[in-house]
Amino acid sequence: MKSLISFAIRYIPRKYLQLFSHYLLRITALFYKGDQVSCPVCESTFRKFLPYGRKARENALCPNCLALERHRLMYLYLKEKTNFFTDQLKVLHVAPEICFLDKFEKLTNLDYITGDIESPLAKVKMDIHQIPFEENTFDVVFCNHVMEHVESDLKSLQEISRVLKPNGWAIIQSPVYYDMAETIEDTSITDPALREKLFGQRDHVRKYGADYADRLRLSGLKVTADDWVKTLPKDIVHRYALPLSEVIYYCQK
């Protein structure tokens, strides 16, 4: 099971994987029946979560909605620390994660728009280097696990800043290697094997180091690197299987 998951993750882009694996996982969920862990996104409980990742992590993937550790954390963060579920907001969700889609689409307080350059899950086909919306349009932008793929992260971040309203906020997550002081990148490398070796995945063009927040700030956004998860009680971290190393990058225009 673990090696099958590792193989699929390595060679099938996540957005397609999400689409096809959905029904298979629902059947798997029957074997994970229990009440030891809960998913805050879909409000289901299980004996444990499924293993997931290139080097499969135990207790990671919700068999029902496909939320991973970082998605569960972001969901709780939105609930506890932001106005996302309470205020009338216009939201742009770039490269939308399948676990959030149904949930966010149903929220009546949101004018919710999804966009991506190729994902079949998104409604608006768009290049993040040139977001097809006027400046000061959105109260909220989500853009997770995108910046490590794009030609120019600076241009993409400037675009997010441009379409945000003054006082608007964004969550912009990427894989960050905190043991590396500085980000490395080379968009001229196109060989998937070399990209994987240098940047950790076959379709990554950069690998972020501990300077990630500073790179976000180059766009003019104000960035709070929030390690909120570390302030949560142990039983909550365990109950929702949250990633203790995940910092939330809360950005404001």
Binding residues for Zn ion, per CB under 5 A?
39, 41-42, 62, 64-65, 67
| Min CB(245)–Zn ion separation in Å | 21
Name the residue type at position 205.
V
Pairing of strands 222-226, 164-171: unpaired
Q: How far is the CB of 41 from Zn ion (least distance, A)?
A: 5
Contact 33, 46 (CB under 8 A): yes
Determine if residue 23 is left, alpha or beta; phi over 0 gives left, psi from -120 to 50 gives alpha, anything else beta.
alpha
Nearer to Zn ion, 100 or 208 (CB): 100
Least Cβ distance, residue 65 to Zn ion (angstroms): 3
Closer of 216 and 241 to Zn ion (Cβ)? 241
Least gap, CB of 83 to Zn ion (angstroms): 23
CB of 93 to Zn ion, least distance (A): 17
Which residues in 186-196 are b (16+ Cβ under 10 Å) and which e?
eeeeeeeeebe
Strand ranges (E), the chain: 33-39, 44-46, 50-52, 57-61, 89-94, 110-116, 124-125, 138-143, 164-171, 184-185, 206-207, 222-226, 248-252
Of residues 39 and 216, the one with the C-beta less far from Zn ion = 39
User: Residue 164 half-sphere exposure, CB side, CA atoms within 13 Å?
Assistant: 25
